[in-house]
Structure 1
Amino acid sequence: MDEKNVKKFYLIREDVLPESVIKTLQIKDALKENPELSIYEAVREFGLSRSAFYKYKDTIFPLDEKVEETKEFTIILYVHDKVGMLAQVLNTISQIHMSVLTIHQSIPMEDKATITLSINSAGSPTSIEDVIFELRNIDNVYKVEIISMSM
């Protein structure tokens, strides 16, 4: 495969995005919510040039939008090693109507471990941000990160 045609993807937090990219996402949302709104009206409303909008519109997507398309992602949980941790995590995943595709739990070191889960979100209305929030709220989970998505 020609390396020039291979596109790389990155996960990036919203707070570090340039203002023009954030406005592009807002415009895309506004256009989706109101099909009668023209691109010209939307860019004027959000204070962005049409050229900037066209530059970014096909290159930036909310994470949930990609999850809706692909339905699969992998997360890692950093946990304090306590009896029943994996069961609590799996119960939480089940309660939000998602399926676990693969599980890996590391050997605990200094009372800390990791749990890596590949998850299928097909059939679940829960957003990926809500999944992370729910998992972070489990006692003895101190960090949750997305490490990959199918695209």
Structure 2
Amino acid sequence: MDKKENKRFYLIREDVLPESVVKTLQIKEVLKNNPSLSIFEAVKQFDLSRSAFYKYRDTIFPIDEKLEETREFTLILYVNDIIGMLAEVLNTLSKLNLSVLTIHQSIPMDGRATITLSLDGKDTDLEIDEVMESLKMIEHISNVELISMTI
């Protein structure tokens, strides 16, 4: 790949990552929490080679670590078309200390609609999955998906 080209990013669940990548994430966390620990000691503790650690350390990071820097993300909610649905969603977001940056509600079809929300979470301590679970608890929301985030 040409170095001038943009790098592509993916969201991927931890359970499908290779063991060396998961260990790299664990080592980064240990080093972050214990600055006196050397990289040599940390990789030895997790039975990973230093070369594997150095290969992945600058290319893999938890979503929430990057969100600490920006805290902006976009969700899509699949909802039943009932009066007051959007108001209930906005009320819940307010209680979670989230700011709405943009909002779009689709035209309902067959009693269903989508609500797309770009949110700023700098004033909340919640992680994305906790926000999504809180929204899923609202009656008449069938699903919530993360569709983008600012990194």
Letter in 2 for 1:120: D
- Pairwise mapping of residues 137-148 of structure 1 onto structure 2 (< 5 A)? 137-148=137-148
Return 5+ residue gaps in structure 2 as ranges. none
Instruction: Specify the alignment match of 1:40 in structure 2.
Output: 40
CA distance in 2, matches of 1:49, 1:23: 10
CA distance in 1, matches of 2:140, 2:20: 39
- Pairwise mapping of residues 82-101 of structure 1 onto structure 2 (< 5 A)? 82-101=82-101
Letter in 2 for 1:136: K
- 2:67 corresponds to 1:63: no
114 and 3 in structure 1: CA distance in 2 versus 1, 3 angstrom threshold: farther
Instruction: Specify the alignment match of 1:124 in structure 2.
Output: 124
Residue identity over aligned pairs, in percent, reads 64
Query: After TM superposition, what 4+ stretches of structure 1 lie above 3 angstroms from structure 2?
Result: 2-5
Letter in 2 for 1:78: Y
SS of aligned partner of 1:60: coil
- 2:111 corresponds to 1:111: yes
Q: Deviations over 1:79-135 (max 9, x none)?
A: 122222111111111111110011101111111110000001122111112111111
Q: Deviations over 1:62-91 (max 9, x none)?
A: 111111111211110111222221111111
SS of aligned partner of 1:5: coil
CA distance in 1, matches of 2:126, 2:148: 18
Return 5+ residue gaps in structure 1 as ranges. none
Letter in 2 for 1:26: Q
CA distance in 2, matches of 1:98, 1:34: 31
CA distance in 2, matches of 1:113, 1:14: 31
Letter in 2 for 1:113: A
CA RMSD, Structure 1 to Structure 2 (Å):
1.4
CA distance in 2, matches of 1:47, 1:142: 43
CA distance in 1, matches of 2:46, 2:83: 51
- 2:20 corresponds to 1:20: yes
TM-score by structure 2 length? 0.93
**Count of aligned pairs:** 150
Letter in 2 for 1:9: F
> How far off is 1:3 after superposition?
7.0
SS of aligned partner of 1:109: coil
CA distance in 2, matches of 1:85, 1:100: 16
Letter in 2 for 1:107: I
Letter in 2 for 1:108: P
TM-score by structure 1 length? 0.93
